[in-house]
Amino acid sequence: MGALPKPTRSRKRRFGLIVLRVAVGLLFGPLLLILLFRFVPVPITPLMLLRLAQGYGMHHEWVPYDRISPALAHAVVASEDNLFCRETLGFDWNALAGQMMVMGEGERPRGASTITMQTARNLLLLPGRDWFRKAIEAWLTPQIALLWPKRRVLEVYLNSIEFGPGIYGAEAASRRFFGHTAAALTRDQAARLAVVLPDPLAWSAAHPTPYLRERAAVIERRIGQLGPLLDCTR
Report the distance separating Cα 40 and Cα 114, nearest Å. 23
Mean pLDDT of the residues in the chain: 87
Angular region, 124: left φ>0, alpha ψ -120 to 50, beta rest = alpha
> Pairing state of beta strands 59-60 and 167-168?
parallel
> Pairing state of beta strands 59-60 and 162-164?
unpaired
Below-70 pLDDT ranges, the chain: 1-9, 11-29, 95-112
pLDDT at position 97 is 62
pLDDT at position 22 is 44
Helix, strand, or coil (residue 80): helix
Reported as a single tens digit per residue, the pLDDT across 192-208 is 999 999 999 999 999 99
Alpha helices in 125-227 (DSSP H): 131-147, 150-160, 170-178, 187-195, 210-226
Reported as a single tens digit per residue, the pLDDT across 46-58 is 999 999 999 999 9
Q: Which domains does the chain have, with CATH numbers?
A: 41-86+113-233 (1.10.3810.10)
Q: Which helix (H) or strand (E) holds 76?
A: helix 70-80
* This prediction's pTM: 0.85
pLDDT at position 126 is 87
Reported as a single tens digit per residue, the pLDDT across 139-172 is 999 999 999 999 999 999 999 999 999 999 999 9
Q: Which helix (H) or strand (E) holds 17?
A: helix 9-37
Distance of CA 208 to the CA centre of its chain: 23
| 167-168: strand order across its sheet | 59-60, 167-168, 162-164
Report the distance separating Cα 26 and Cα 209, nearest Å. 43
